[in-house]
Chain A
């Protein structure tokens, strides 16, 4: 496990990945302490639904009561972005978790056994990869009916094939190496060989991809929500909060930037969340990629 220690040290040493770690830590803290940072009003049943302060369409400027102001429909932006952090983590981690399990399972089956199993699994990934991701996700969400759950299903469906392929490729490469031959030579079972030898070596690139993909998944989920194909109205979700501001990008002619807060703040949360994961994933890759390693 000194590998992990080495990696941790490298991650902290690099300013970019350190920034990524700090950003993600802040978001983790926000997500955990959401009920303390933005306490739901009394009698509020579903904490993930943003409390409203009236029904007027026009956003209200930041004030004591609403520190980030309210957006269209008087949804409190501060409450929305704080609880939206939880939604973002949920979408990102659940989708990537399921995708990792499916990808690793199918990829290692295909890579290790080869032959007909490999052929079938790879042709199935071909079909899934024949669509641009957002389009397929849109179609699936439209078919299942817009909801956060549909978004998560859609994102899982569009993401698993690349993981299966990556794992398969790595296992094919590892399988050729001598020590796998050797362990089979001494009578280790197929399952044991996969678990003990092939997977641990193929896993690093997959983890890099996963950390980069958490950002991408959250981004796509936000885009779907923005397009009106995600969370139900009023659900704490960054993409939806941004879409509430769509009609308010231009203020009255005396003050064209009057509603800047409604447009800017939710987007900044998305940007920094994705940035955090990308910084981390990038540094991760630099450390793991021996070709880019600094001598």
Chain B
């Protein structure tokens, strides 16, 4: 009961934030001429030929607040504008590109979380010994790596040097044909999952082969980030009195570290899950661009380069809503992990 009222309160709290976000986004569009802005309101290809009429209908020469009102009511009715890059409404484009990005995150997220926590724990447990120094230097390197460059280098080696071993894009052409054939049912549009559901091993392996490099590229920076945080958080927790108590009980070092210290060390790590999500969204744009992996990030890049403003802003709006929701989930999760946090206490 307490949890439900807390969630409701937090959701209400989101309204002013999202109001500000939409004003901000719409403010950006005001940098454009009414002709360019018209694409924000287009719902099908035919309308693109009749821009002056759109300016008339939506009052694009009216004052800011009138325009904002028109725009926001369009957004609420599900119209985010027209994506020139792919020739479909922005809402449809997001829906169409989402599965590819989801597939990437499904593989990258567990790697990021588990590797980061595992390496951070190990480094802290071996503080000031070679393993710690090694992982620490690796983490600083990983954190400093330009993601796009890492992707190129990986491709140079695993696609160029080992000819065609781990190719870019989502699927190789023969498998693309299988996936698009009538007998292959697209349950989710997530290739690996669909392949399993259709019992097509070859498609699954091919999809996996195309996923390896993007997943590595996407994960390295985030693993380094979580690892560093986990290490310092573990060190703090290992210095606490309850660790001495646990050792004095006769518990083995493994239980002391993995149970007593880690559970406490995870609390600050959970609070930055939102940052990790944001970092992944940034990484997705770069990764998908390099590997021509056609997901949301690739689409956003194409739109930005071709100055397709409706798509870029639609994508930004979509992400900010998602980001705000992720932060809400993180806060709720936080109250579950740390018994000391009272639900009301998170609000100011």
Query: Residues of A with Cβ closer than 8 Å to B?
Result: 16, 123-124, 126-128, 130-136, 138-145, 215, 219-220, 222-223, 226-229, 239, 242-243, 245-246, 249-251, 253, 256-257, 260, 263-264, 266-267, 270-271, 274-275, 278-279, 282, 291-292
Across the interface, do A250 and B285 meet the contact criterion of CB distance under 8 Å?
A: no
Report how far A292 CA is from B239 CA in the complex, Å. 11
Selected from B29, B144, B278, the residue in CB contact (under 8 A) with A143 is: B29
B143 on interface, CB distance cutoff 8 Å? yes
Q: Which interface class (under 10, 10 to 19, 20 to 34, 35 or more) fits B?
A: 35 or more
Provide a sorted-by-A list of 28 A–B residue pairs whose CB atoms are within 8 angstroms.
Answer: A123-B16, A123-B17, A124-B20, A127-B17, A130-B17, A130-B21, A133-B282, A134-B281, A135-B282, A135-B316, A138-B301, A142-B307, A143-B28, A143-B309, A144-B31, A226-B286, A227-B305, A239-B146, A242-B149, A253-B163, A257-B160, A264-B153, A267-B149, A271-B141, A274-B144, A278-B143, A278-B144, A282-B140
B304 on interface, CB distance cutoff 8 Å? yes
A-contacting 9-mer, from B90-98, B184-192, B318-326: B318-326
Chain B residues lying within 8 Å of A263, measured Cβ to Cβ, are 149, 152-153, 156
Selected from A227, A266, A279, the residue in CB contact (under 8 A) with B301 is: A227
Binding site secondary structure of chain A: helix
Given contacts A135-B319, A139-B28, A246-B290, 5 further A-B contacts (CB under 8 A): A139-B312, A222-B148, A227-B285, A239-B148, A257-B161
Q: In the complex, what's the smallest C-beta–C-beta distance from A218 to chain B, in angstroms?
A: 9
Across the interface, do A130 and B282 meet the contact criterion of CB distance under 8 Å?
A: no
Across the interface, do A132 and B319 meet the contact criterion of CB distance under 8 Å?
A: yes
Report how far A256 CA is from B158 CA in the complex, Å. 11
Chain B residues lying within 8 Å of A245, measured Cβ to Cβ, are 152
Chain B residues lying within 8 Å of A278, measured Cβ to Cβ, are 140, 143-144
Query: Nearest chain-A residue to B157 (Cβ)?
Result: A257
Instruction: Using known A-B contacts A133-B278, A139-B312, determine if residue A251 contacts B160 with beta carbons closer than 8 Å.
Output: yes
Selected from A223, A253, A275, the residue in CB contact (under 8 A) with B140 is: A275
Q: In the complex, what's the smallest C-beta–C-beta distance from A168 to chain B, in angstroms?
A: 12
Across the interface, do B16 and A223 meet the contact criterion of CB distance under 8 Å?
A: no
Across the interface, do A223 and B286 meet the contact criterion of CB distance under 8 Å?
A: yes
Report how far A270 CA is from B140 CA in the complex, Å. 14
Across the interface, do B152 and A242 meet the contact criterion of CB distance under 8 Å?
A: yes
Chain A residues lying within 8 Å of B141, measured Cβ to Cβ, are 271, 275
B211 on interface, CB distance cutoff 8 Å? no
Instruction: Using known A-B contacts A135-B281, A226-B148, determine if residue A267 contacts B153 with beta carbons closer than 8 Å.
Output: yes
Chain A residues lying within 8 Å of B303, measured Cβ to Cβ, are 142
Chain A residues lying within 8 Å of B304, measured Cβ to Cβ, are 138-139, 141-142, 227, 229
Which of B146, B315, B324: most chain A Cβ within 10 A? B146
Instruction: Using known A-B contacts A227-B301, A242-B149, determine if residue A139 contacts B21 with beta carbons closer than 8 Å.
Output: no
Instruction: Using known A-B contacts A141-B304, A278-B144, determine if residue A132 contacts B28 with beta carbons closer than 8 Å.
Output: no
Across the interface, do B160 and A249 meet the contact criterion of CB distance under 8 Å?
A: yes
Q: In the complex, what's the smallest C-beta–C-beta distance from A223 to chain B, in angstroms?
A: 6
Chain B residues lying within 8 Å of A140, measured Cβ to Cβ, are 28
Selected from A16, A123, A223, A246, the residue in CB contact (under 8 A) with B146 is: A223
Instruction: Using known A-B contacts A257-B161, A263-B156, A275-B140, determine if residue A138 contacts B29 with beta carbons closer than 8 Å.
Output: no
